[in-house]
Amino acid sequence: MMSNKVPPRPRTRVGKYEMGKTIGEGSFAKVKLAKNVENGDYVAIKILDRNHVLKHNMMDQLKREISAMKIINHPNVIKIFEVMASKTKIYIVLELVNGGELFDKIATHGRLKEDEARSYFQQLINAVDYCHSRGVYHRDLKPENLLLDTNGVLKVSDFGLSTYSQQEDELLRTACGTPNYVAPEVLNDRGYVGSSSDIWSCGVILFVLMAGYLPFDEPNLIALYRKIGRADFKCPSWFSPEAKKLLTSILNPNPLTRIKIPEILEDEWFRKGYKPACFTEEEDVNVDDVAAAFNDSRENLVTETKEKPVSMNAFELISRSESFNLDNLFEREKGVVKRETHFTSQRPANEIMSKIEEAAKPLGFNVHKRNYKMKLQGDKSGRKGHLSVATEVFEVAPSLHMVELRKTRGDTLEFHKFYKTFSSGLQDIVWNTDKK
């Protein structure tokens, strides 16, 4: 008989970092929140599977590009602090950016005004231009890679890591039908220049910021590829003539005649209110850790160690989850659509697990269980592929559990719609502290 008690999970330490919850998950890597125990700072740690890197012969290129990125200290690019490796994993320690994705603003409030869209586009071009000048190309610019810090400053993530991402995501991208931001020469697979393809993706992003929808969007992949190949798009009536002119120059299907960044920087529309990025380049940045992480030596390898967990503060957790409503999913003041939510329950853990499965299956989700974790996989492909939701049950105190639900793949708004229906099937197991 399965026990109702969830054993406390030991915390994992990697070097000087105490690993926390998963905050991002893709087909090729996982990102975890972590705390530097020496100074108390929080960071994000991207974890790559070492065998996958070797399998795709990406070791040398990743090493080269991450070394280049570590030296970069640009205000619009996420900073790489250090790189570590164990026998099976590569850990890339990154600046933590917690203002959400830029596109969450559109998901919540709709399209941006032209001046606001231009400001973000200027920051994007600043980041891309600087990295290109250092010989680093993104190759996979898309909404998930555009983050905002708490001050609303744009930060581009995954520069220098996208080559590996493309290798791993190739089949996935084709299967899910989400190449909306990819340049035609990339889709044609005839060889391409990273700088030109990045500029195309920036153009698609600018269009979406101002329009609130994609310039190329077809349910059928062949039709979508055809539209992208011909640059078959139409600007909405509210775009200014100057913005239309620049977009036409960027979304040029011929990479040889497509506008280059120096020309964008001189464009009349682009230059309105333009402020070049102000920052100081770091000197004498040590990249020995990158070399050590990617070589075959066992001398500098870190190990994952399990430590006794710190007792949870139940009241702090309960205060975050007083009742089962959509306030957990949305932070309206910040304009951020959250990718995770949680609730508390006084029911036994195995009953909670059964109820989640019972509520998910009628909505077309396949359920995969492992201990007190579940993965809910949608059987229909949405706007960004199949929706996937991870759930986990934690024991906060005897007879009190917290359940966390986190979107791991798919569209955030589709997650929101799923959650509204899904939550109604769980009302009888949720502890609502408003009840008398």
Annotated binding site for ATP: 46
Contacts of 141 (CB under 8 A, 6+ apart): 128, 156, 181, 198, 201, 202, 205
Decide: residue 256, CB within 10 A, 0-12 exposed, 13-18 middle, 19+ buried: exposed
What distance in Å separates the CA atoms of residue 79 and residue 65, rounded to the nearest whole number?
Answer: 13
104 is catalytic: no
Dihedral, 332, 104, 91, 166 alpha carbons, nearest 10: 170
420 in helix, strand or coil? Answer: helix
Residue among 49, 115, 129, 140 flagged as catalytic: 140
CB 411 within 8 A of CB 387: yes
**What 3-state DSSP class applies to 363?**
helix
List of E strands, 52-211: 80-85, 89-95, 146-148, 154-156
157-173: b or e for each residue (b if 16 or more CB lie within 10 Å)?
bbbbbbbbbbbbbeeeb
How many other C-beta atoms can be found within 10 angstroms of the C-beta atom of residue 436?
Answer: 2
For 155, other C-beta atoms within 10 Å of its C-beta total 21
Q: Which residues are catalytic?
A: 140
